[in-house]
Structure 1
């Protein structure tokens, strides 16, 4: 069992265990799968595995009067691999098990390609809540403040690792609650909006955990060119509003850039995203041009490389607001030394550099990093604490580095630093090629853990998420720079991006850790390269294993 209470199982059709595992089933699937719809075929494969004595990891607890419950989350066709993915969530007594996920991958004829599972055993927990949803909501309002509004509380089985000992609980979880006073320990300039998921015990009414969700940092189309925040000329798409005025709205990629006019996003957050950045007046705001052009590059990468239509894969908007402040004490002050993804959009602050304000939107890698937190929110929704939080940060770092270096095909010429354009503005810098350079560990043996009894929070970076991310970052660097015996790269940057994207979007769940990421990347590789010659497949899988082994992230037993 893993650190999050979930048992893991993974099987792929090109795994040497595949045929033997299927043969051990008491009731193999007999119907021709191509005659079934994907969900029905996937359900039959799942039931086959549940009943298979060779797969004890997938044996779920059986409530009285019924067997294990797995409900379909959705079915998705993945253009990158030409496969179909059907996902299931585990339920117990008709209550969802938090973090559970079963992914069944089907080939074109609905034959089984892979199955990956993470299921829990909350059998000893009383399924009857003694606290009502209204009472849980009242507890949350008292803790978050009167302005704390989010989704209604919903029952879950939740594996609690916040107290002693670790155990399953029946809880209410209310998502995306804005908590008053967020970030006060960081001071005026570094505070960020504190958007959290509340976890409340359904038997006692106590707050079990606050899981952070803020990851810090009539018209006619046309094109324009203007200087960005670094003085570089950037080309961008824009439109005219009904009055004939130009504005930063790119309808092709649904990128929208707004000016918050140095208002306080904490006290005036209801006014976000603010007005569209427009022209007139002349000249264009350089900060806005940076935010707009950089967001378009992220949107282009998602569509052209990962074949994903926006963060939500449905063409949803990329919304940015420049000239933001947060928790401002000095009414005349305009500095806020931060940037953040706040659940639905980006907000960018700024800091004085040589007497002039410099926006955090100028750094392409930082913009990509923060926006890609939105991709994580839309897919795995990794908890922003401890190991899952470090994995959350690492995925944004990986995509940020790849996107910012996309114009340099040869990785030997890449810049592996994060946020180097902001070196004068106080943003912590990371180096994926050498995490230790900026105080990060590069091996799992050096994972920084909280002291016994210490609760994750802002003072310890939610369990050192920006520190421990260096371990997984180094694995990604190893993968991007892996070469064969002739010095030829084993992977292209786009292939590495595809592997991490497929792992994030298809195989990871709320509480996944580094080992789960390796498991997902390996599954993605087996599918993505399944048509290649066997020698090519073997070389890529060997390089992948070596990249993770080198940082101590071991293969699944």
Structure 2
């Protein structure tokens, strides 16, 4: 996977060029609706194409809109070039209450000028991808043209899907970008965003569950939270699984000999994650549309993993091998996987390079915050990732000092983008811990932490709620698909400014936390 050059968000200075025309200023102010915000953003692209790296062959389609109480708006748009989707070409237009363009967030460096005509056929590209990965073309998957704008020199690519055999029992579905002229693999990322490692089958104790009654039986389907449900894969890897049902609405026994036990953990994790996002940020479900996803438990045979898949809009949970790992249905893992879905529906962080590390970091951060928010007596909140997965309770990752796992980066370097995304995530995890808790020795809920800084500084934390609010706003408002760590610093500072003001304690702490992990 390639290392990406740092491209910061473009901040536009106030100037006559960005002022609204006099006639518009004199008009009565309009209530800012999402539709008006999109219209203004579209006009801004036409008037200030260079700020968006826009070419005459580009078109833009709405991905998401956020309108502030002040009337300021943030419009996230996907780009197409000559009708082809542009990976890393999405932009966010930041507009003041009057509609004036104040800033642009983008990854693409310059307007596209490349030819949109491939010299390699789709079939040959799919074959090249399968050979390069040692897999086979995924049945039913199409091979389509796109432009990859993430490299310094954009590339016309065929986007295809390859299934790679996985000895652990996973589906091994991988998205692959193939140069449409040379047949070389340009980039690849997993369809299932996995937790690296596995976990024990702890259960969350006796918890309330919202279920659905159908005739004389009950279904493990939550009517309160978008119809989210859980299915039994019965150790299979193909298909949707069988919906769990029960005669008396009393699910599981707390023992692994009962197949419903891990289903309870998975369903409860989804409910707690849903409630966290709704109560903290007003977000209803993964996509923000009130629609539920679903869980597949007992996935694969002795499968040591859990994951989120955009394809099925679902989570998968393996049972573990029973020797080193148990079932992956832990509370923070559930929050982690659902957050991959939130990320895919907002920033869309590409799952490779530094953006992939940020993708994993966001899931670790919000999975941790779900654990704290749940306040479950069987799984007290901590800054350890997947601590209930391994049978010996060794965490997969440590947020206070990511290097303690032996592989993760606690400080940014130019090599971070070359690491596995589960290890490059350490930079973001460390920054968040410093922002929330602070540097040095701390004990939280009985767990001792000692967080170093990479620059020898001392950082004072501002707490989970404020740190979480800053990172959520940054993810959903200021990050785009190719955001790297330098841009993440800018995004969180923008979020801290919006929430608490430039120069506030929260703003300064955000800057200090990133500097402390060598992102400056």
TM > 0.5 fold call: yes
Q: Provide the residue aligned with 1:43 in structure 2.
A: 42
Q: Provide the residue aligned with 1:235 in structure 2.
A: 208
| Distance 1:94-1:318 versus aligned 2 partners, 3 A rule | closer
**What's the CA shift for 1:101?**
2.7
Q: Provide the residue aligned with 2:443 in structure 1.
A: none
Q: Is 2:147 the counterpart of 1:156? A: yes
| Distance 1:430-1:23 versus aligned 2 partners, 3 A rule | same
Q: Is 2:475 the counterpart of 1:513? A: no
Q: Distance in 2 between matches of 1:528 and 1:550?
A: 22
Structure 1 length-normalised TM: 0.75
Q: Distance in 2 between matches of 1:500 and 1:552?
A: 18
Match of residue 351, structure 1, among 310, 316, 320: 320
What secondary structure is seen at the aligned counterpart in 2 of 1:351?
coil
How many residue pairs get matched? Answer: 474
Q: Is 2:145 the counterpart of 1:145? A: no
| Distance 1:347-1:81 versus aligned 2 partners, 3 A rule | farther
**What's the CA shift for 1:539?**
2.2
Structure 2 length-normalised TM: 0.80
Q: Is 2:409 the counterpart of 1:441? A: yes
What secondary structure is seen at the aligned counterpart in 1 of 2:176?
strand
What is the 5 A alignment of 1:418-429?
Answer: 418-424=385-391, 429=396
What is the 5 A alignment of 1:69-468?
Answer: 69=58, 71-78=60-67, 83-112=72-101, 114-121=103-110, 123=112, 125-133=114-122, 136=125, 144-145=135-136, 147-160=138-151, 167-174=153-160, 177=161, 179-181=163-165, 183=166, 187-188=167-168, 191-217=169-195, 229-230=202-203, 232-242=205-215, 244-265=216-237, 269=238, 271-279=239-247, 284=252, 285-325=260-300, 328=301, 335-343=302-310, 344-351=313-320, 358-361=326-329, 363-406=330-373, 415-424=382-391, 429-439=396-406, 440-445=408-413, 447-448=415-416, 450=418, 463-468=419-424
Q: Distance in 2 between matches of 1:42 and 1:304?
A: 30
Match of residue 479, structure 1, among 430, 435, 447: 435
What secondary structure is seen at the aligned counterpart in 2 of 1:119?
coil
CA distances 1:87-120 after superposition (whole Å, capped 9, x unpaired): 2344545544320232123355545554323323
**What's the CA shift for 1:311?**
0.8
* Kept after mapping to 1: 8 A contact 2:336/2:367: yes
Q: Distance in 2 between matches of 1:372 and 1:26?
A: 36
Q: Provide the residue aligned with 1:10 in structure 2.
A: 10
Q: Distance in 1 between matches of 2:70 and 2:282?
A: 10
Of 296-305 and 80-89, the range deviating more from structure 2? 80-89
* Kept after mapping to 1: 8 A contact 2:438/2:460: yes
Gaps of 5+ in 2: 196-200, 253-259, 440-457
| Distance 1:4-1:93 versus aligned 2 partners, 3 A rule | farther
Of 279-288 and 543-552, the range deviating more from structure 2? 279-288
**What's the CA shift for 1:476?**
0.5
Q: Provide the residue aligned with 1:459 in structure 2.
A: none
Q: Distance in 2 between matches of 1:496 and 1:336?
A: 34
Q: Distance in 1 between matches of 2:157 and 2:322?
A: 47
**What's the CA shift for 1:321?**
1.6
Q: Provide the residue aligned with 2:469 in structure 1.
A: 498
What secondary structure is seen at the aligned counterpart in 2 of 1:233?
coil
> Quick one: higher RCO (CA 8 Å, sep 6+), 1 or 2?
2
* Kept after mapping to 1: 8 A contact 2:70/2:97: no
| Distance 1:390-1:26 versus aligned 2 partners, 3 A rule | closer
Gaps of 5+ in 1: 12-17, 52-57, 161-165, 218-227, 329-334, 451-462
* Kept after mapping to 1: 8 A contact 2:435/2:463: no
| Distance 1:145-1:479 versus aligned 2 partners, 3 A rule | same
* Kept after mapping to 1: 8 A contact 2:219/2:243: no
| Distance 1:24-1:347 versus aligned 2 partners, 3 A rule | same
Q: Distance in 1 between matches of 2:391 and 2:229?
A: 25
Q: Provide the residue aligned with 1:542 in structure 2.
A: 508
**What's the CA shift for 1:511?**
2.4
Match of residue 22, structure 1, among 3, 11, 14: 14
CA distances 1:238-288 after superposition (whole Å, capped 9, x unpaired): 11113x2012111111253334252321xxx1x214223434597522211
